[in-house]
Amino acid sequence: MTPPTRTMPTRTVLPALTARRGRPSRPFGVYVHVPFCATRCGYCDFNTYTPAELGGGTPEGWLAALRDELRLAAAHLGAPPPVQTVFVGGGTPSLLGAAGLTAVLDAVREHLPLASGAEVTTEANPESTSPALFAELRASGFTRVSLGMQSTAPHVLAALNRVHSPGRALDAAREATAAGFDHVNIDLIYGTPGETDDDLLRSADAALAAGVDHISAYALIVEDGTALARRVRRGEMPAPDDDVLARRYELLDRRLTDAGLDWYEVSNWARPGAECRHNLGYWEGGEWWGAGPGAHGYVDSTRWWNVKHPNAYAEALTAGALPVADFEQLDTDTSHVEDVMLRVRLRSGLPVSGLSAAEVDHAARAVADGLLRAAGERLVLTDRGRLLADAVVRDLLA
């Protein structure tokens, strides 16, 4: 990848924002995007950069720019509400080490008020973790860690270009628990070409045996522009099969449910009380400041996204400007569509009171078809409906 030129992007001025205007009960969070990865996984299309792609950018320069963004964020919000959740994602946040991640959390605390009992999460690649790292992160205030395992099958990891050893994520989960983390999540990917039903179930069983209280599982998606997409296009690897993906989801759901982890969002299972509060904030209409290159934020019906490359991000902040690439202000209709899209994926369901008369009629058809069920004044996806969640949303909003 060719680094961008040093020319400053056209400045985009973010409108005035007032967090929780008119909705004081909305949760408010902070998402921090760490754009660094040691290598690029073949399926990943996230805004990440290997050392060769940075064009001179460094984690130290990124951290200095992040501090500047958080300072400007506090000024832009005027009177920021207490931050109830912090989520450090990427990329590979654990590449920053304990000192770097602690500095990230300190920067949030310095400029935005952190609520008592806040949930503070970091993602981590198992290969860049250790007992010492987890102990230091727990001492600095992190409460939750999310580990990218994807699979314990070596041939599945190879197909995904994952570099960690099959058992390392399990050891890391145990180390995080031993360090006192309240909650530990493991990510799985299912449907990789070459994976079998048994491969997936063995991965799930291994994660459960490691004592995690939350598992996120995602069907493999072939994203345009990725190495995986090129391999599929050249015929080197078959595309994921929809029927196989559906069967794997059902197998996984049954195994996790039997082990005491209930689904609370279509792709997420947790023991009671272990749900990810930060992600629930996204799905339940909360607000958040997105900090870091390419990060998205949403406050006061305004959604914005930062410039992507770390160098352009740092340049904007050096010039004293928020690094916003663009923004949009959501009208009532757009907000409603997004609310339906997100809430219908939750086990807590979609409130009927928020639907139009036509949407209530469409929902009745979905209930008759066995895709939704009525739960009091809410509509909840059935087991079959979870497999067809996107279609259910399209039909509701048609």
Same domain, 257 and 337: no
**pLDDT score at 238:** 87
Same domain, 250 and 339: no
Closest to 143 in 3D by CA, of 13, 277, 34: 277
Q: Which is more confident, 188 or 11? A: 188
Residue 243, domain member (yes or no)? yes
| pLDDT per position as a tens digit, 319-355 | 999 999 999 999 999 999 999 999 999 999 999 999 9
List the CATH number of the domain containing 346. 1.10.10.920
What average pLDDT does this structure show over 93-120?
97
Confidence of residue 2 (pLDDT cuts 50, 70, 90): very low
The whole model's pTM is what? Answer: 0.93
**pLDDT score at 24:** 60
Query: Where in the sequence is the domain holding 345, given as residue range(s)?
Result: 331-397
Same domain, 72 and 215: yes
Residue 290, domain member (yes or no)? no
Same domain, 348 and 251: no
Same domain, 120 and 248: yes
Cβ pair 88, 56 in contact under 8 A: no
Domain end, chosen from 258, 284, 310, is at 284
Confidence of residue 3 (pLDDT cuts 50, 70, 90): very low
d(CA 109, CA 106): 5
Domain end, chosen from 245, 260, 284, is at 284
**pLDDT score at 224:** 84
**pLDDT score at 144:** 98
Confidence of residue 110 (pLDDT cuts 50, 70, 90): very high
Residue 295, domain member (yes or no)? no
Where would I find the H helices in the chain?
A: 59-77, 97-111, 131-140, 154-159, 168-178, 197-209, 227-233, 242-258, 277-283, 310-318, 332-343, 357-368, 383-387, 389-397
Name the 3-class secondary structure at 314.
Answer: helix
Residue 140, domain member (yes or no)? yes
Same domain, 280 and 358: no
**pLDDT score at 17:** 85
d(CA 164, CA 158): 10
Confidence of residue 100 (pLDDT cuts 50, 70, 90): very high
What average pLDDT does this structure show over 232-247?
91
State which amino acid sits at residue 340: V
List the CATH number of the domain containing 249. 3.20.20.70
Residue 259, domain member (yes or no)? yes
Same domain, 70 and 209: yes
d(CA 316, CA 122): 26
The proportion of the chain whose per-residue pLDDT surpasses 90, expressed as a percent, equals: 79
Same domain, 250 and 370: no
Residue 299, domain member (yes or no)? no
Confidence of residue 233 (pLDDT cuts 50, 70, 90): confident
The proportion of the chain whose per-residue pLDDT surpasses 70, expressed as a percent, equals: 95
Q: Phi-psi region for residue 173, left (φ > 0), alpha (ψ -120 to 50) or beta?
A: alpha
Q: Is the pLDDT of residue 7 over 90?
A: no
Count of domains forming the chain: 2
Same domain, 190 and 51: yes
Same domain, 354 and 276: no
| pLDDT per position as a tens digit, 154-192 | 999 988 887 777 789 999 999 999 999 999 999 999 999
Q: Which is more confident, 328 or 231? A: 328
Name the 3-class secondary structure at 349.
Answer: coil
Same domain, 351 and 225: no
